[in-house]
Amino acid sequence: MTWFLSAGNRHLAPVQLFCLPYAGGGASVFRRWQDGLDPDIEVLPVQLPGRENRISENPVFRVADVAYAIADRIRGPYAIYGHSMGGRVGFEAIRELRRAGRPLPLRLYVGGARAPHITGSSHFDGLSRLDDDELLRRLEAGGGLPAGLLDYPELVDLLLPLLRADFGRVDDYRYIPEEPLPMPIVAFSGRSDTAVSQESCAGWREHSAAGFTLREIDGGHFFLNERLPDLLAAIRADLATARTDAAPHHG
């Protein structure tokens, strides 16, 4: 199984950034990230099953499988970025790694993602229970589909099982309380995001025992496409701080 698409040849970079896509998205969502970050960061987009080069696989996946795929690629300090659904997948993957006693990231970055304990406040709730036409209509209205996608019915047919599986995951998610995470969480919120409110993003504060930052980015729910340089600049600066803080100090 191919869990990662390398976004560039940075195998000796001292820090790794694992990236998890939004519902219906694949690893190609992050194809421009490597060029926008420092050479000392290796971007590793996670390719979840059922999309792009894994389109023939069942799109239903277990978070534990994602967690251990990441664990097998860790070489040293790393961070995780998850957008929308990917934020919760990243959060649950870290909790799985903690339970297994595996190395944990310096940071969890979440973009356009509701805090895990917050329910029923998103335009994208309940989509898996709708018929195909209504699902697509609601997604498009909420800015949850790439522009022009509905003009390609054969592509839509290919994507529908994946969208149903991903939104089924969103609808069926149940938060189970555990200790807050031992690393800082940085949440990014789109100023004009109509799908996930800033308040829902701010709720991530409760899930870190090591500090929380909420950063506003211009743009809607998909600010990672609309305002990528702004997002990457913020991640780049924060990761530099995280690595400095984590470096051993010699007295």
What residues act catalytically? 84
Q: CA 198 to CA 237: how far, in whole Å?
A: 22
Q: CA 7 to CA 110: how far, in whole Å?
A: 20
- Within 10 angstroms of residue 98's Cβ, the number of other Cβ atoms is 17
Torsion angle in degrees (nearest 10) through CA of 77, 245, 82, 16: -30
In a 10 Å sphere around its CB, with 0-12 CB exposed, 13-18 middle and 19+ buried, how is residue 221 labelled? buried
Q: CA 124 to CA 148: how far, in whole Å?
A: 19
Secondary element (H or E) of residue 108: strand 107-111
Reference 27, options 45, 43, 8, 10; nearest CA is: 45
Residue holding tokens 């555990």? 178
